[in-house]
Structure 1
Amino acid sequence: MDAMLKTVGKKLERKSQDDLARPSREEAEAAVRTLLAWAGDDPDREGLLDTPKRVTKAYGQIFGGYFEDPTEHLKRTFEDVGGYQDIVMVRGIPFHSHCEHHMLPFIGTAHIAYYPAEGVVGLSKLARVVDIFAKRLQTQENLTAQITSAIDDQLAPRGLAVMLEAEHQCMTMRGVQKPGVSTITTQFTGIFQDEAAEQAKFMSLVRGGGL
């Protein structure tokens, strides 16, 4: 099952930037002007004159994950952990991403736990992995699988658990317009997948309980 997860995760990866012809900044700004006009406004009015430049600059930050390799942050591990073999959890990692269907934000938190095999990774590196994948056009399911696959491939832990909770603006601002509805996705490998008690332990820690 772990091998299947890795295969699925790799299939979900986007094409590398070398395979894509990236438009120029000028072309991107022209596209923004077109959208402004299509929305019914005048791109030449004073308040919108600099909007195309601002939007392209913002997109460079919001979607900066396309130009970073998350695995680079997972390569350095630390083996001197005093014999520690139990669960390591980073809980409540905030993230914001954009739905690939409507390009509207979804905002939430990620929870990651793993049982180390030969070493541990810096805690901030797990948050960086979440950020890099989140700063791409996504579905929450893809995002969950990609985070899991990257960590599982690089660290090869005895078990890995990933949970994402998010509110999607494509449900809040349009369509059914239901604010406050959250979506939860999970992915488990190793002992988290094989043992229900370990999943229960993970969920208890996520919700703020003890071991």
Structure 2
Amino acid sequence: MEGVCEENQRISSFVHHVHIPDPDKELHEKLKQMTTGTGMKGNGKNSFKHEQNMSDCNNTEMKSIQPENKDKKDESEEDFIVKSMSENYSGILKDLGEDTNRQGLLRTPERAAKAMLFFTKGYKENIHDALNNAIFDEDHDEMVIVKDIEMFSLCEHHLVPFIGKVSIGYLPNKRILGLKIYSRRLQVQERLTKQIAVAITEAIQPAGVGVVIEATHMCMVMRGVQKLNSKTVTSTMLGVFREDPKTREEFLSLIRSTL
């Protein structure tokens, strides 16, 4: 019994020491700089390097708080988290009045825990990992558009999915890139839209960025207004996309068209 208590204390100690900062505060400061003109200058190398360094610091901090586990050296950090989350899911099922010992639910808490970790694995990723060296020097200064990128994420208000498409446009400063980030975290659509625009700006310092997301929220479809065809559209415009109505309209026109 004493061993079980010690094991639970180690799990609880690890989980509660992993702190995820408020994503809106840092995002607000970055957008403030970018919309006042200070964030759209340079070649992007310094801010990108800063993001890498911050990520390295975060990884070091994560390693320093990893609990000692001399009895079970083969168990990874994820095993600890899955075990703790499985117990919590089991409690939720019991609170619903379910029998967690019936055949269909025997491994449901563990499966749900692993699924949630996959849905939110973006917390362990950073801009450097997401770009995956997909930045290329190119003598190209016309608008680049990638439209209808399929995405899914989890609404942080109800922990249910929202699913949709992302369209991205930017005016490259002789650099082009491929990018997929941020959706695998607990999110709100407005923040996700801004985070994508900020990530592109920090990575390649383009003359301008436009991001539009159109999504269906299960929290609106399954509860709330309960309208199957309801969609939410959000956008973020930075640089010339924000300042020049013609550039913004060209971008919006192109993503609406069926090329």
Correspondence 1:182 to 2:210: no
Where does residue 32 of structure 2 map in the other structure?
4
Give deviations 1:170-190, integer Å, cap 9, x for gaps.
101112212211111101111
1:46 aligns with 2:95: no
Alignment partner of 1:33 out of 87, 90, 105: 90
- Whether the 8 Å CA contact 1:37–1:43 is kept in 2: the answer is yes
Instruction: Answer yes or no: is 1:207 the counterpart of 2:235.
Output: no
Shift of 1:3: 5.5
User: What CA distance in whole angstroms lies between the structure 1 residues aligned with 2:96 and 2:81?
Assistant: 23
Q: Where do 5+ consecutive residues of structure 2 fail to align?
A: 1-28, 36-57, 67-76
What residue in structure 2 maps to residue 102 of structure 1? 158
Work out the CA distance in 2 between the residues paired with 1:2 and 1:195.
21
> 178-187 vs 21-30, which deviates more?
21-30
- 1:155 paired residue among 204, 210, 215: 204
CA distance, structure 1, for counterparts of residue 153 and residue 196 of structure 2: 13
Question: Partners of 1:98 and 1:177 in 2: how far apart?
Answer: 18
Unaligned runs of 5+ in 1: 8-15
Q: In structure 2, what is the equivalent of residue 13 of structure 1? A: none
**Rg larger for:** 2
In structure 1, the residue matched to 2:113 is: 56
Task: Give the one of 206, 215, 221 matched to 1:172.
Answer: 221
User: 1:46, CA displacement in angstroms?
Assistant: 1.1
Q: Which runs of 4+ in 1 moved over 4 A?
A: 16-23
Q: 2:140 aligns with which of 50, 71, 84?
A: 84
The answer to whether the Cα contact below 8 Å between 2:152 and 2:162 also exists between their aligned partners in 1 is yes
- Secondary structure at 1:146's aligned position in 2? helix
Residue matched to 2:174? 118
SS in 2 for 1:24: helix
Residue identity in the other structure for 2:32 = M
Identity, % of aligned pairs?
Answer: 35
Contact kept, 8 Å, 1:71 with 1:150, in 2: the verdict is no
Query: Structure 1, residues 92-125: CA drift from partner, whole Å, max 9, x if none?
Result: 000000110100100000000100113111xxx3
**Does the CA-based 8 Å contact 1:111-1:162 persist in structure 2?**
yes
Contact 1:6-1:153 at 8 Å conserved across structures:
no
TM-aligned CA distance change 1:32 to 1:3, over 3 Å: closer
Task: Give the residue type in structure 2 aligned to 1:45.
Answer: R
Question: 3-state DSSP class of the match of 1:134?
Answer: coil
Select 1:93's aligned residue among 128, 149, 161: 149
Contact 2:141 2:174 in 1 (8 A): no
Cα offset for 1:24? Answer: 2.9
Output the amino acid matched with 2:196. I
**Structure 1 residue aligned with 2:193:** 144
**Alpha-carbon displacement from aligned partner over 1:121-145 (angstroms, at most 9, x marks no partner):** 1xxx32x22xxx1100000011111
Question: Cα distance, 1:84 vs. partner?
Answer: 2.1
Separation in structure 2 between the aligned mates of residue 51 and residue 24 of structure 1, nearest angstrom: 15
Counterpart Cα distance in 2 of 1:42 and 1:65: 33
What value does the CA root-mean-square deviation take over the aligned residues? 2.4
Moved more, 19-28 or 84-93: 19-28
Supply the distance in 1 between the matched residues of 2:135 and 2:123 (Cα, whole angstroms): 24
Distance 1:164 1:3, change over 3 A: closer
**TM-score normalised by the chain length of structure 2:** 0.68
**2-structure distance, mates of 1:3, 1:99:** 22
3-state SS of 1:163 partner: strand
Name the TM-score, length of structure 1 as normaliser.
0.83
